[in-house]
C-alpha cells in the first residue's frame, strides 16, 4: 500500500515539476532579473544616455571613427505566462503578460547595446534601430510562437 502511494506521489511530482518550476521562475527569478536590469540602466545613463535615433550627432564635433554596433536578446514567456495569455486571448484585448515580456526584451537589448558601445570605447550611438522577430515552432501543422528576438543596432561614433 505504501509503495502505491509513493508511486502516485512521485508520478505527480514528476508530471507537475515543470509547472512548479515555471511558477517559481515567474514569481522569483524574473522580478530579480528585471531589478538588476533597472540598476544596469541607471548606472549607464547617469551622465546622459548615449543612444540616439537621430541620423547625425547633435554635438557638431568632428567624428574620428564610426562603426556599426549591434546587440540582441531572445526572450520567451514562461509556461505560467503562456497559460494566463491563453485565457486572456479568449476574451480579446491586450495580453499584458506578453507585453511585459516584449518590453523587458526591448529594454534588455537597448542596455546590451549601451554596454557594448561603452566597452568598445565609443562616445555615442546614433541612428539606433530595433528589429523584432517572432520565433515559432511548427507542431502538427500549427505554428506556435515560442519566443521573440529583439535586435538593437546603430552607428557608434568616436569624437
Q: What is the pTM of this model?
A: 0.73
Sheet of 142-158: strand order equals 65-75, 142-158, 124-139
Cα 159 from chain centre: 31
Query: Using 50, 70 and 90 to split pLDDT, how confident is the model at 143?
Result: low
What's the mean pLDDT in 85-93?
A: 84
Please report, rounded to a whole number, the percentage of residues in the chain having pLDDT higher than 90: 20
What's the mean pLDDT in 74-102?
A: 84
What's the mean pLDDT in 107-120?
A: 91
Query: Using 50, 70 and 90 to split pLDDT, how confident is the model at 72?
Result: very high
The confidence score (pLDDT) of residue 94 equals 86
Q: Which residue has the higher pLDDT, 28 or 96?
A: 96
Q: Is 141 left (phi over 0), alpha (psi -120 to 50) or beta?
A: left
The confidence score (pLDDT) of residue 141 equals 66
pLDDT at residue 131 above 90? yes
Count of domains observed in the chain:
1
Contact residues for 151 (Cβ-Cβ < 8 A; gap 6+):
70, 71, 72, 109, 130, 131, 132, 133
| Domain housing 115 | 2-158
Q: What is the CATH number of the domain that holds 122?
A: 3.30.110.70
Amino acid at each position: 500500500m505504501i509503495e502505491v502511494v509513493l508511486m502516485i506521489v512521485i508520478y505527480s511530482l514528476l508530471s507537475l515539476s515543470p509547472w512548479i518550476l515555471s511558477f517559481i521562475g515567474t514569481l522569483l527569478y524574473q522580478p530579480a532579473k528585471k531589478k538588476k536590469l533597472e540598476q544596469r540602466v541607471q548606472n549607464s545613463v547617469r551622465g546622459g544616455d548615449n543612444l540616439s535615433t537621430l541620423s547625425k550627432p547633435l554635438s557638431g564635433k568632428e567624428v574620428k571613427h564610426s562603426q556599426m554596433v549591434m546587440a540582441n536578446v531572445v526572450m520567451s514567456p514562461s509556461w505560467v505566462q503562456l497559460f494566463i495569455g491563453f485565457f486572456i486571448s479568449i476574451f480579446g484585448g491586450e495580453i499584458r503578460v506578453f507585453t511585459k515580456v516584449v518590453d523587458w526584451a526591448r529594454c534588455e537589448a537597448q542596455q546590451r547595446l549601451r554596454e557594448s558601445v561603452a566597452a568598445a570605447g565609443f562616445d555615442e550611438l546614433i541612428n539606433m534601430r530595433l528589429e523584432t522577430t517572432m520565433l515559432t515552432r511548427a507542431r502538427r501543422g500549427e505554428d506556435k510562437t515560442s519566443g521573440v528576438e529583439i535586435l538593437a543596432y546603430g552607428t557608434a561614433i568616436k569624437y
